[in-house]
């Protein structure tokens, strides 16, 4: 039988000490809100949530007080206190590289790209962001030209996908929402793979059954996308639990948006992961909009990271447009998850530069000036380009020729995908079950018999 | 086709139908699942058995599943202490708290978590405490579990998922502890839906459900937990999904049901025989999706009369599906319209439960109507 890592027990005592000095949460015995975080900048902070185990250990043996099972260790007070639901300060946002591509002068070596990464890796990350941007631009146009039926771009969120993907291993299993094509791109999914799926041809694994952008890859450990929102989050908890039982040294990573975090599945998933100690990284891409609904109409509290404490899950907030902040936070998150065997919530603040999808026109609900401000000034691509230019590793000319080369590659992949045959009709009935049931067999026979004697709409009509 | 030839065709079919009536018993033995025989094929002619009730048989099946596969886990609300119906008694002590554990109180969480485990390659055996509370998990079951293989072209599947849920009337359950929601799930391609009627079948069907390569919802009629007994083999055996069982052979009327209702139908058959010398054939569907059409078609072709009975509301219930599916192949064999005796289109009542239920008396009355039609 699989063994269960016990390491978390000892770590927890350190957590309690750590608490006293840095954490922003309600701590028993001190009975006050310790909040020193707002004053710190460029300091990597992790919001330590508490553990039921810590409370039990600290209080059950030594104290003579009786505690209710729902909150063991909650100190008694004769002053009626109402804990504020809204705080004035906000959880700070970890950022290393500012909008001009300059690295903070106070950032630690541990989080400094020049100290931690090879130049080749840095360039490669930027190139992947560019590739993602080119692919999105081209496939968006392809939809507008009627060549594919639907598309969703990652404009403005290139750093969330590439930064997080680069910090993980391919063996870390990804449950995505739908705007994480950059993760696949980093892992080696080719333009051809993307185009085959978007064209729904016979060469794509799901045999053209799903709408465009519902990618999946077994070998790249990317679980096939489904349209319902947030359903992947509790599944990621379950998958992570299985990984832990199997003594895996990898984690499960679950991407979702701040809108999806309003679904019940989000709550269930975090609560399950916390209580059952699942090694899963919850990665929220808070891009400010759920289709047209702005974040301020989505939740009242301090974003998504602010919820970690309530679930007993450690959480971080990071500038999602800063590739380095994303990269280092995900690296650290993974390490902590593996050390503690417990989940972690990472909120990446970013901005959806494009429309929700090709079926959406975001100019109807947001100002052009707003889009321009985020898309130009806070562009993750622009930041990274400047970063590389400062180091003489990239320039405008290289940028243009690289983009041109990628455009050509993508176009040829798209043309090939368009020409590829559609999956055979049998695949309408296959894969519903592991084997064709008598009912499906009968229905298939009837359809084939019908088609043998009747004309039916052909593909071209 | 002119009228004369139509009449001739009908007459020819009619005579074939009559002929079938006389040779029915031979045909009948070839369809349906022979449960005892199937078990004997797996365990030999005299397997060691113990008298068990339904919850003990479920417990036995779960423990067999946990013993035979390290990558199997059992979880749900209150599962650790043995479950509110005692189905998971002592499993945590025997297999450890990492394989048998409580979850927070969230059905969508339980099923979503179970899907993830199953995608990872585990046999994820989830318990929903009451079938009445399965609806928060509807999205996870219908949009996720059922479509996992199809939408990924087989790259990923959650075939290892089994969701157990106690269902049905108990005499005092009212709206929210009595429902039989099988029809909602039997309308979902990709799921399998199973309901056993006694302990020996429950063990074999549950083990088959757990090991099936598709997600299965396994409804357990909770009234039978302590009231239904069988001599259950102690060894590991399975009963195939997708097969109905002819519980008792007959020639005049086919009675179709599943779960606890099969016991009602057996009583109906007994009284019909005793009081009116009507010979009823009772069929237990056992698997509700994909269901065994062949067995019921053969039976109805033989008897020419059919009553379908279930506790769930009649409108759009599974009885409607079976009636429609039977009609096409059996049209010319029928001597009376297909009848359904089911729950009414009301929420499940408390004070008037007895009047709501498809009782023996109502079913018997329907049998008489079928005969005299």
* Nearest chain B CA: its distance from A6 CA (Å): 12
Which residues 127-146 of chain B have a CB within 8 Å of chain A?
Answer: 136, 139-140, 143-144
**Is the pLDDT reported for residue A79 higher than 70?**
yes
pTM: predicted TM-score of the whole model, two decimal places: 0.90
Confidence of residue A459 (pLDDT cuts 50, 70, 90): low
Task: Please give the structure tokens belonging to residue A362.
Answer: 């975001």
Domain for residue B188, yes or no? yes
Q: Name the band, by pLDDT with cuts 50, 70 and 90, for residue A85.
A: confident
Using the predicted structure, report yes or no on whether residue B257 has a pLDDT greater than 90.
yes
Question: pLDDT at position A49, please?
Answer: 53
| Nearest C-alpha in B relative to A209 | B151
Residue B197 CA to residue B153 CA, distance in Å, equals 35
Q: CB distance A4–B114 less than 8 Å? A: no
Residue of A nearest to B104 (CA): A272
- Give the pLDDT confidence of A250-294 residue by residue, as tens digits: 999 999 999 999 999 999 999 999 999 999 999 999 999 999 999
Is the pLDDT at A334 greater than 90, yes or no?
yes
- pLDDT tens-digit readout, B177-222: 999 999 999 999 999 999 999 999 999 999 999 999 999 999 999 9
- The yes-or-no answer on residue B107 being catalytic is yes
| Residues of chain A with C-beta less than 8 angstroms from the C-beta of B106 | 264, 267-268, 271-272
The tokens describing A203, both together, are 């060469």
Domain A109-419 has CATH 3.30.70.1400: no
C-alpha to C-alpha distance for A185 and B13, rounded to whole angstroms: 64
Residues 246-275 (B) with a CB less than 8 A from some CB of A: none
- The Cα B15–Cα B75 span in angstroms is 56
Statement to judge: residues B82 and B182 lie in one domain: yes
| b/e B335-344 (16+ beta carbons within 10 angstroms → b) | ebebbbbbbe
> Does the active-site annotation cover B172?
no
Q: Taking 70 as the threshold, does the pLDDT of residue A17 lie above it?
A: no
Confidence of residue B321 (pLDDT cuts 50, 70, 90): very high
User: How confident is the model over B243-268, as a mean pLDDT?
Assistant: 98
Q: Is B146 part of a structural domain of the chain?
A: yes
| Domain termination residue (choose one: B210, B233, B256) | B233
B86 and B213 inside one domain: yes
Do the beta carbons of residue A329 and residue A47 sit within 8 Å? no
Place of tokens 């399975």: B238
Q: Which residue of A has its CA nearest to B96?
A: A1
Tell me what pLDDT residue A3 has.
45
Check CB contact under 8 Å for B106 and A209: no
The Cα B268–Cα B100 span in angstroms is 41
- DSSP-derived pairing of the beta strands A293-294 and A314-319: unpaired
Q: Would you say residue A122 has pLDDT above 70?
A: yes
Residues 313-372 of B with CB under 8 A from A: none
Asked if B119 and B262 sit in the same domain, the reply is no
Share of residues in chain B with pLDDT > 90 (%): 92
pLDDT digits (tens, 9 = 90+) for B102-123: 999 999 999 999 999 999 999 9
Q: Indicate the average pLDDT of chain B.
A: 93
Cβ–Cβ below 8 Å for B147 and A437: no
B40 lies in a domain?
no
Average pLDDT over chain A reads 88
Q: B116 and A235 in contact by Cβ < 8 A?
A: yes
Domain that holds residue B259: 13-34+244-372
Q: Which residues make beta-bridge pairs with B124?
A: B73, B161
Q: How many CB atoms lie within 10 A of CB A145?
A: 8
Chain B residue with Cα closest to A266: B109
Q: Give the pLDDT of residue A46.
A: 54
Check residue A55 and give its pLDDT.
43
Q: Do B356 and B173 touch, CB atoms closer than 8 A?
A: no
With 90 as the cut, is the pLDDT of residue A60 above it? no
Interface check for B214 against chain A (CB to CB < 8 A): the answer is: yes
Q: Residue B364: which pLDDT band, with cuts at 50, 70 and 90?
A: very high
Question: Does one domain contain both B132 and B267?
Answer: no
Same domain, B253 and B150: no
Closest approach of A239 to chain B, Cα-based (Å)? 4
B293 touching A, CB under 8 A? yes
Given B77, B127, B144, B177, which residue is catalytic? Answer: B177
Q: What is the 3-state secondary structure (H, E, C) of chain B?
A: CCHHHHHHHHHHHHHHHHHHHHCHHHHHCCCCCCHHHHHHHHHCCCCCEEEEEHHHHHHHHHHHHHHHCCCEEEEECCCCCCCCCCCCCCHHHHHCCCCEEECCCCHHHHHHHHHHHHHCCCEEEEECCCHHHCHHHHHHHHHHHHHHHHHHCCCCCCCCEEEEEEECCCCCCHHHCCCCCHHHHHCCCCCEEECCCCHHHHHHHHHHHHHCCCCEEEEEEHHHCCCCEEEEECCCCCCCCCCCEEEECCCCEEEEECCCHHHHHHHHHHHHHHHHCCCEEEEECCEEECCCHHHHHHHHHHHCCEEEEEEEECCCCHHHHHHHHHHHHHHHHCCCCCEEEEECCCCCCCCCHHHHCCCHHHHHHHHHHHHHC
Are B200 and B251 part of one and the same domain?
A: no
Cα→Cα distances B106→A252, A284, A306, A394, B128, Å: 21, 22, 22, 51, 9
pLDDT of residue B18: 38
Interface-testing mutation among A70, A235, A310, with chain B (most B C-beta atoms within 10 A):
A235
Give per-residue pLDDT as tens, A403-413: 999 999 999 99
Query: What 3-state DSSP class applies to A344?
Result: strand
pLDDT band at A458 (very low <50, low <70, confident <90, very high): low
DSSP A377: I
A49/A451: higher pLDDT: A451
CB A201 within 8 A of CB A422: yes
As to burial, measured by CB atoms within 10 angstroms (0-12 exposed, 13-18 middle, 19+ buried), residue B48 is exposed
Q: Could you tell me if B101 and B19 lie in one domain?
A: no
Q: B205: distance to nearest CA of chain A, Å?
A: 17
Same structural domain, B116 and B228: yes
Quote the CA–CA distance of A24 and A35 in Å, as a whole number: 5
How high is the pLDDT of residue A63? 53
Q: Are B66 and B162 part of one and the same domain?
A: yes
Which domain-ending residue is among B233, B265, B297? B233
Q: Is the Cβ pair B121, A242 closer than 8 Å?
A: yes
Contact at 8 Å (CB) between A319 and A42?
no
Spatial CB neighbours of A121, under 8 Å, sequence gap ≥ 6: A166
Q: What is the pLDDT of residues B13-39, one digit of tens each?
A: 444 343 334 333 334 445 899 999 999
Which of left, alpha, beta for A213 (phi over 0: left; psi -120 to 50: alpha)? Answer: left
d(CA B142, CA B243): 23
Provide the domain count of chain B: 2
Same domain for B69 and B25: no
As a whole number, mean pLDDT of residues A427-453 equals 96
CATH of the domain at B329: 3.40.50.920
Looking at the fold, whether B106 and B20 belong to one and the same domain comes out as: no
| Under 8 Å between Cβ of A358 and A152 | yes
| One domain for residues B82 and B193 | yes
ipTM score here?
A: 0.91
Per cent of chain A over pLDDT 70 is 85
Interface of B with A in 1-60 (CB under 8 A): none
Q: Using the beta-carbon criterion (under 8 Å), do A239 and B119 form an inter-chain contact?
A: yes
CATH of the domain at B113: 3.40.50.970
Interface membership of B122 toward A (CB under 8 Å): yes
Tell me the per-residue pLDDT of B167-188, one tens digit each, with 9 for 90 and over: 999 999 999 999 999 999 999 9
pLDDT attached to residue A456: 74
pLDDT at A87: 81
């Amino acid at each position: 039988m699989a063994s269960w890592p016990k390491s978390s027990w000892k770590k927890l005592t350190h957590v309690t000490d750590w608490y006293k000095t840095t954490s922003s949460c309600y701590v028993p015995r001190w009975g006050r809100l310790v909040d020193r975080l707002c004053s710190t900048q460029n300091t990597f902070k992790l919001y330590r949530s508490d553990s039921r185990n810590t409370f039990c250990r600290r209080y059950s043996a030594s104290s003579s007080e009786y505690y209710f099972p729902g909150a063991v260790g909650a100190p008694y007070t004769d002053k009626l206190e109402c804990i504020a639901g809204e705080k004035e300060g906000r959880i700070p946002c970890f950022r290393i590289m500012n909008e001009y591509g300059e690295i903070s002068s106070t950032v630690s070596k541990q989080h400094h790209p020049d100290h931690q990464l090879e130049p080749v890796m840095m360039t490669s990350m930027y190139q992947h962001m560019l590739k993602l941007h080119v692919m999105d631009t081209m496939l968006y146009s392809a939809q507008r030209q009627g060549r594919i039926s639907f598309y969703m771009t990652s404009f403005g969120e290139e750093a969330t996908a590439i930064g997080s993907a680069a910090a993980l291993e391919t063996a870390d299993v990804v449950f995505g929402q739908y705007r994480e094509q950059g993760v696949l791109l980093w892992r080696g999914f080719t333009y051809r793979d993307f185009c085959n799926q978007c064209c729904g041809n016979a060469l794509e694994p799901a045999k053209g059954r799903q709408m465009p952008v519902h990618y999946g890859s077994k070998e790249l450990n990317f679980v096939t996308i489904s349209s319902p929102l947030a359903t992947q989050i509790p599944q990621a908890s379950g998958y992570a639990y299985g990984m832990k039982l199997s003594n895996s040294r990898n984690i499960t990573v679950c991407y979702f948006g701040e809108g999806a975090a309003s679904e019940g599945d989000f709550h269930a998933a975090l609560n399950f992961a916390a209580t059952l100690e699942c090694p899963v990284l919850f990665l929220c891409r808070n891009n400010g909009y759920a289709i047209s609904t702005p974040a301020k109409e989505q939740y009242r509290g301090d974003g998504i990271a602010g919820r970690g404490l309530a679930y007993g899950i450690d959480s971080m907030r990071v500038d999602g447009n800063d590739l380095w902040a994303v990269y280092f936070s995900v690296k650290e998150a993974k390490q902590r998850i593996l050390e503690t065997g417990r989940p972690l919530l990472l909120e990446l603040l970013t901005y959806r530069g494009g429309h929700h999808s090709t079926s959406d026109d975001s100019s109807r609900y947001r100002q052009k000036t707003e889009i321009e401000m985020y898309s130009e000034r806070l562009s993750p691509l622009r930041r990274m380009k400047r970063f590389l230019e400062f180091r003489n590793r990239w320039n405008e000319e290289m940028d243009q020729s690289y983009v041109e080369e990628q455009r050509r590659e993508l176009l040829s992949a798209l043309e090939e995908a368009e020409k590829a045959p559609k999956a055979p009709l049998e695949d309408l009935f296959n894969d519903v079950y592991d084997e064709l049931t008598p009912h499906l067999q009968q229905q298939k026979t009837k359809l084939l018999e019908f088609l043998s004697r009747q004309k039916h709409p052909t593909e071209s009509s | 086709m002119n009228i004369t030839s139509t009449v001739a065709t009908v007459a020819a079919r009619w005579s074939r139908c009559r002929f079938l009536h006389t040779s029915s018993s031979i045909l009948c033995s070839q369809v349906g699942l022979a449960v005892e025989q199937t078990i004997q094929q797996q365990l030999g002619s005299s397997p060691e058995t113990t008298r068990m009730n339904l919850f003990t048989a479920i417990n036995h099946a779960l423990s067999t599943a946990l013993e035979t596969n390290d990558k199997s886990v059992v979880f749900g609300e209150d599962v650790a202490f043995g479950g509110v119906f005692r189905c998971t008694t002592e499993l945590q002590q025997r297999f450890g708290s990492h394989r048998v554990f409580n979850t927070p109180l969230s059905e969508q969480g339980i099923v979503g978590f179970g899907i993830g485990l199953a995608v990872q390659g585990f046999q994820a055996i989830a318990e929903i405490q009451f079938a009445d509370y399965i609806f928060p998990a509807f999205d996870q079951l219908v949009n996720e579990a059922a479509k996992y293989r199809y939408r990924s072209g087989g790259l990923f599947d959650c075939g290892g998922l089994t969701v157990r849920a106690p269902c049905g009337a108990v005499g005092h359950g009212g709206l929210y502890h009595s429902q039989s929601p099988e029809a909602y799930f039997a309308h979902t391609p990709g799921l399998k839906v199973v309901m056993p009627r006694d302990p020996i079948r429950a063990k074999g069907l549950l083990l088959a459900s757990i090991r099936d390569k598709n997600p299965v919802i396994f409804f357990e009629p909770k009234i039978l937990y302590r009231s239904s007994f069988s001599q259950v083999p102690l060894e590991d055996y399975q009963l195939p999904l997708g097969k109905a069982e002819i519980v008792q052979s007959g020639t005049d009327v086919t009675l179709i049901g599943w779960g606890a209702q099969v016991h009602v139908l057996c009583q109906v058959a007994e009284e019909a025989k005793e009081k009116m010398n009507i010979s009823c054939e009772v069929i237990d569907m056992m698997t509700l999706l994909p269901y065994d059409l062949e067995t019921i078609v053969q039976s109805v072709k033989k008897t020419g009369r059919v009553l379908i009975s279930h506790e769930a509301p009649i409108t759009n219930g599974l009885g409607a599906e079976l009636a429609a599916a039977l009609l096409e192949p059996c049209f010319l064999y029928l001597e009376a319209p297909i009848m359904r005796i089911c729950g009414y289109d009301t929420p499940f009542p408390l004070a008037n439960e007895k009047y709501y239920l498809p009782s023996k008396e109502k079913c018997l009355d329907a049998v008489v109507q079928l005969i005299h039609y």
